[in-house]
Structure 1
Amino acid sequence: MIEGEPFARPINVSIYYTELLAKKVTVNGKKIGRLRDLLIIETLRCPEVTHFVVHRSGKPTLTVPWEKVISIHNTTIEISPESLITYEREPGEEDMLLQQFILNKKVIDLEDHEIRLVYDLHLIINMFDKLLVFEVDFSKMAYLRRYRFKWLAEFIQSGRDEERTLVPWIDIQLLPPATGEEKRRFNIKTLKDKLSRMHPVDIAEIIEDMDQNQRAVVFSELDTSTASDALEEIDPSIQREIVSVLTREKAVAVIDEMTPGQAADVLEEIPFEEARDILETMTPDKAKKVRSILEKSEENILDYTTTRFIMLPPDAEVGTVRDEYARLARDKDVIMYLYIVDDSDILRGIVDIKELLQADDDATLIDIMVYEMITLTNESTLKDAAEEFTRYDFRALPVVDPDGKIIGVVPYRDIMKLRHHPPE
């Protein structure tokens, strides 16, 4: 800068926040300290930088308005205050420090519906001479810059076409501060509005990635319909946690919004006392249907088994079984699996019909059968069966007695249909 010459900062100049930190701050070319942080205010589209916070060794901190910043060079920031004493002050509680506000914080990437960690921020000077937080950087390159390994970032990036992961500020959403974090302003209404426009599956994935306190804050603020739809999609272990921290009124409203089958699925995952209290407060008709399903879930699985399935000996030849399959499958309820048994009907293995069709004609069933099997027992409940079907995605499950003898098979459709289509 030439002294006495009017200064006009160029527009659309950009810089990364982590490259600004710790730069020397000078007045008339003389170092007075180093940049410690930036103060910002939130605007409709993206935060605006209002002050530069300057650390001075052994002297009071300076909080200098952006208008007093003359230029930003590779290693220095030149300021031109009328008097340094005028700007001697520490940022107060009402001030928003950019580092505390966003850097190294988890945010929602609204475009990808993911929670990500902010490593850096991209700042620009717009045509109105405002310094704005324009984009958020989640990339590995940003991580390296953040921890002063810019040289390594540049080395890795050299010769590659991969671009940095820059997401516009308007496409990210802050999360509520976790307990123990320094106090900062947070607009829960904005988060609530943005989440309510997402698909319940996306909301569920986002909430699962939050910490416990953030889940409680966010879920409590969602409208009943959105909260109900999202809760259905959330992992059962997290369902328990969420329901336990909701007010009783909110928990009842959310679960009462579900179908009886979905409500039963959630209530099965929480402690009995809590489930009972919620049922007693739900609308009577809905509560009656949910109780019916919950009671049914404890019924013995033998009431839902069929004996109309295909049993064959281990030494049966694949070609012969394939030729006779149409006859074997006639009038059977389960035809997609062959159950391989010995002379005492002890279950030894299972063959999927697809494996039978792909095997050589001269192979025997013992050559292609699966030995490691998921089975139910004669003491298993409807709930046990539903959990196994959900976990393993089988189309049927065999039921065996204590000696391993097959006594029936449970089709997937007969169990899972009960859980999702309860009686009206």
Structure 2
Amino acid sequence: MPDKRILALEFLSRQPMQAARLLEQLPNQNVAAFLQEIPARATSEVWTHMLPLHAAHVLESVAADYSAETLSTLKPGYAAAILRHFSPPLVAEIMEKLPQRLVLLCTLLLDYAPSLVGAWMTPKVRSVPLSCTVTEARRRIAASAFENFCPIYIVDDDNFLKGIVSPEQLVAAHGDAPVASIMSTPGYSLPARSTLESVANHPGWKDFDDLPVLDRARKFIGVLRYARLRVGIEDASGSLRSEQAPDLMSGFIEGSIFGVTDILNASLTPGLKDSAGLNRENGK
């Protein structure tokens, strides 16, 4: 009988996307224990296909050395997408262990000025893969710690936002139906590097409390809540105390593989689709 480890390596190398979808549904500590038994470079494609929030939860349960080794095998955009979900102390610890070039690239990807949308956005939002069924989406959402009224954002394997599903839609839909069949088409989005002032009168605020935020490659990286927008504008004008400004980590956001390639004179492949926000009826 073939060695189980060999079979696992075959599965990870030949079907990384399917492996990622499977591992996202298992307990984080079990996934961490399993992946630590396999060379980091053999798992890089799997980490790439995992949703950044899930990948971060898994790596939070292991030593920083392993996290750094894992992130070192990923392209900068994917590494940054995972880093933005860690606490500031953990980011600092891991960054000290990363290759200098990767640190530079991740810093460029993650850092936003306080006047920009990216510094005030909420990166931790509920998202599920475009390929999953309603039943799988329900299972993922049930295991999350987000408020029940929050929307569910549907993303493809490249983290482009494809649709939005309300909790009510998810409950009412047939379990075997593809989640793509019940999602609403995205409509509005905000560039992460736009200034708060420039988006203050965005037409999307008339209908939505949250608007999706996209990086330079137009990949989905979080949402800007209207309440946070107002606080950010007031803070920038000096009307709030400085300690109410967002933590630096709230600006550690832009998880796009293409986010700084223009800076580094590499090829740029922009996404084409626009994105949408959350209807006010669903809450903040």
Asked if these proteins are the same fold (TM beyond 0.5), I'd say no
Instruction: Give the TM-score normalised by structure 2.
Output: 0.44
Greater relative CO (CA pairs within 8 A, separation 6+): 2
**TM-score relative to the length of structure 1:** 0.31
Of Structure 1 and Structure 2, which has the larger fraction of its residues in strand?
Answer: 1
Greater share of helix residues, 1 or 2?
2
